[in-house]
Chains A and B, each alone.
Chain A
Amino acid sequence: MYSAAEAIAVISIVCVAACYAVWSLLPAPRRLKVLMALDKQSEGRYWLSGFRHRVLEPLLRRAVKRSGSCSDCSPRKLG
């Protein structure tokens, strides 16, 4: 029982890490495009309204902000 739970936990952690790594490595404009496509797909589906409001909206706001700059670097420019 314990080893099965441990295996599930490890698999979940690895899957989440892999998805996060792929997402982080996407260029910011591509991330924005993916989010916009998701937003469009979920439009009008009332059962996805919670997901749109709580997950998509903040991600979209962040992606719009970052599509004009580097997501990993300081906005501060030397000089």
Chain B
Amino acid sequence: MNGRTTMPDVAEAGPRHHASSPDASVTSCEPLRVALVGVPNCGKSALFNRLTGSRQKVANYPGVTVERKVGELVGTTGRRYRIVDLPGTYSLTPTTLDEAITRDVILGRLASEPAPQLIVCVADTVHLPVGLKLLLDVKRLGLPMIVVLNRADAAERAQVQIDTRRLSAELGVPVVSTVAIEKAGATALLEALERHAIPAERDLPITWQAPSAEDTLQTQSDVRALLNVCGYREPAIKRWQRQLDSVVLHPVFGMLLLAALLFVVFQAVFSWAAMPMDLITGGVGAVGEWVSSALAPGPLRSLLVNGVIAGAGSVLVFLPQILILFLFILALEDSGYLPRAAYLLDRVMGGVGLSGRAFIPLLSSFACAIPGLMAAPTIPPWRDRISTIMVAPLMTCSARLPVYALLIAAFIPARSVGPFNFQGLVLFGLYFAGIGSALAVAYVLKRTVRRTEYSPLLLELPDYQWPNGSNLLHGLLERVRIFLRRVGGIILALMIVLWFLSSYPGAPADATQPPIYYSFAGMIGRTLEYVFAPLGFNWQISIALVPGMAAREVAIGALGTVYAMSATGDELSTSLAPIISVSWSLATACSLLAWYVFAPQCLSTLAVVKRETNSWRYPLIMAGYLFGLAYLAAFVTYRLVSALS
């Protein structure tokens, strides 16, 4: 789309698509039902957001966890539109649940969704051949349609050429160019919508047959012919991108690069976060001292100092480490590296029965298992999907990071091993243990659950680009918001409840132990100690594991509260690491680390597994096998470290 090409904003087709006057449409009371259809990552959702702004509702299609986005739009002529953003698909022959929903909505097969009257087929101009195949599939249904060539600006930069007038004439439908990410980028589409006559209601559902292999070959041939006729010229792939891909996608060098990248990430988590963590610890301590001096001794002061400040403060201190981890993950995602890593790992993951597609849900599970589980339905074969769901909680989620960071800081010396930080090495090892155990469990599932169908990996590799600073900032702010909401919400609430359980009933007059020993929490901890004693866990750890069921990092806050309450007198104990380093043995710390690699300590995760599998069977199996693995790993670790030390 350089100066030589003819790409007007709107290219109109012949008059057969304007059977009635546009003015007649204005008088209609019912909104025109419009569906946005396109391949994944063509900018369809950006276009949807541009058109509907905040006037949109997001829910699920009934019975499935496929997102349903519907928005409203009122045109300049007063015509109303009801726009539905359908899940991205490469063709009408579905390979995933999302794609099946798209097909069914278009064909009018879905009872819960009224059939669209007009299809807006969105294609990425830069990767037009991919989008044209779907476009031809949809066009063959004979539905009223407008074609949108999105990312016109990127196409111009990449010197893509296409004659849109000719394309419109060949297809027999209006073709418009848009830049969905720009404020006025969808004007041409709005104008085309306003000009489009209201189509007549059609008989539903539309009859459609899955194309045969010959039909698919014919479509590919039609796409090539259409591109030739319209003077399409592919974007030139930059030489440096090809050279970079030859290394990044290399089966050996690519894997080495991936391992090195992950290694650097975990080194940075410890090396860069030290100073901000010290500042937060100092700040929390200062607030605690100020509150102690401002209030008279009593239950309110104890609640604020020992419950709220000591509990929430001991979790808050891990914010810098979480942010550094996500800075790297978001930068790798934005640079276009992650899909390449998925491609690279497809062979490795295939060996243990996982699809390369599982890489993205599993990577998301490093943030939290829940978005990972929710992304799993995009993996088509049931066996691959269930394997991914079952191993996703083994990926080290960000809630485990505070536990790891606390125990490493308390027990692993902060010294260098060659050029590396020893604490960073241990953290890398723990993450690696999570990944390794996930692959091992997947392999066991591969040997026990029968394969039903084969589904090849289909991925679009985006161009490399420098990570966008604004995207990174937005992503990090989102993580800060989530973390602070958790600390200020569920963690704070549980710390207050735990403070109550740790404070009442008070110690008897002839008490020889700290008051918490005689409290409700002390009683629970001493009972649980019988179960966890073989793992080297004391009653304080046993107490902390209970509220830790809500979220793993809550256990740290709980330990903060329990040890603050265990302290003689009423002094503040926000720095947990020095306390546990003298209270626990190295074997106990290692055992707790091993426990946390496997522990099924997240009720939300189990609830989401139940929802995604629509059965109690899988969450129960998951909780059972994770508990068994955690107990076994912690027991073996405790015995081994005790024997060695």
Contacts and interface: CB of A to CB of B under 8 A. Distances in A.
A76 B326 CA distance: 12
Interface stretch (B79-87, B116-124, B424-432, B492-500): B492-500
Interface string A15-29: 001101100110101
A8 to B, nearest CB: 10
A54 interface: no
Nearest to B550: A25
A10 B303 contact: yes
A20 B494 CA distance: 9
B279 interface: no
Contact of B492 (A17, A70, A73): A17
Contacts of B303: 10, 13-14
Interface string B297-313: 01110010000000000
B257 interface: no
A20 B489 CA distance: 8
- Interface of A, secondary structure class, is helix
A55 interface: no
Contacts of B479: 74
Interface string A60-79: 00001101111011101111
Contacts of B490: 20-21, 24-25, 72
Given A76-B478, A78-B360, A70 B493 contact: no
A79 B360 contact: yes
B329 interface: yes
B300 A29 contact: no
Interface in B423-460: none
Contacts of A72: 368, 370, 482, 485-486, 490, 551, 604
Contacts of B300: 6, 9-10
Contacts of B551: 72
A1 to B, nearest CB: 13
Nearest to A79: B360
B59 A64 contact: yes
A74 B339 contact: no
Contacts of B299: 6-7, 10
A79 B338 contact: yes
A41 interface: no
Contacts of B603: 25
Contacts of A73: 367-368, 370-371, 482
A27 B607 contact: yes
Nearest to B549: A25
Interface residues of A, number: 28
B611 interface: yes
B59 A74 contact: no
Given A27-B607, A70-B374, A79-B360, A14 B496 contact: yes
B371 A79 contact: no
A16 B225 CA distance: 68
Contacts of A69: 67, 374
Given A17-B496, A68-B65, A72-B370, A79 B342 contact: yes
A20 B342 CA distance: 40
A6 B296 CA distance: 11
B60 interface: yes
Nearest to B67: A68
A17 B500 CA distance: 10
A58 to B, nearest CB: 16
B333 A70 contact: no
Given A10-B300, A68-B58, A74 B478 contact: yes
Nearest to A64: B59
B65 to A, nearest CB: 7
Nearest to B303: A10
A76 B478 CA distance: 9
A70 B493 CA distance: 19
Contact of B329 (A7, A18, A78): A78
Interface string B542-567: 00000000110000000000000000
A17 B491 CA distance: 10
A45 B624 CA distance: 47
B59 A68 contact: yes
B52 to A, nearest CB: 16
A13 B482 contact: no
B181 interface: no
A18 B370 CA distance: 24
Interface in B593-624: 603-604, 607-608, 611
A14 B379 CA distance: 44
A7 B298 CA distance: 9
B363 interface: yes
B184 to A, nearest CB: 26
A79 to B, nearest CB: 4
A10 B303 CA distance: 8
A16 B178 CA distance: 51
Interface in B286-329: 298-300, 303, 329
B338 A78 contact: yes
B475 interface: yes
B177 interface: no
Interface in B345-385: 359-360, 363-364, 367-368, 370-371, 374-375
Contact of A68 (B60, B298, B333, B370): B60
17 contacts: A3-B298, A9-B300, A10-B299, A17-B497, A21-B550, A67-B60, A69-B67, A70-B608, A72-B368, A72-B482, A72-B604, A74-B371, A74-B482, A78-B330, A78-B367, A79-B342, A79-B375
Interface of A: 3, 6-7, 9-10, 13-14, 17-18, 20-21, 24-25, 27, 29, 64-65, 67-70, 72-74, 76-79
Given A68-B60, A72-B604, 20 more contacts: A10-B300, A10-B303, A13-B496, A14-B499, A17-B494, A17-B496, A20-B490, A24-B489, A25-B490, A25-B603, A25-B604, A70-B370, A70-B604, A72-B370, A74-B371, A74-B479, A78-B363, A79-B333, A79-B363, A79-B364
Of all A-B residue pairs in the complex, the 5 with the closest CB atoms, nearest first, are A17-B496, A79-B360, A68-B60, A21-B493, A70-B370
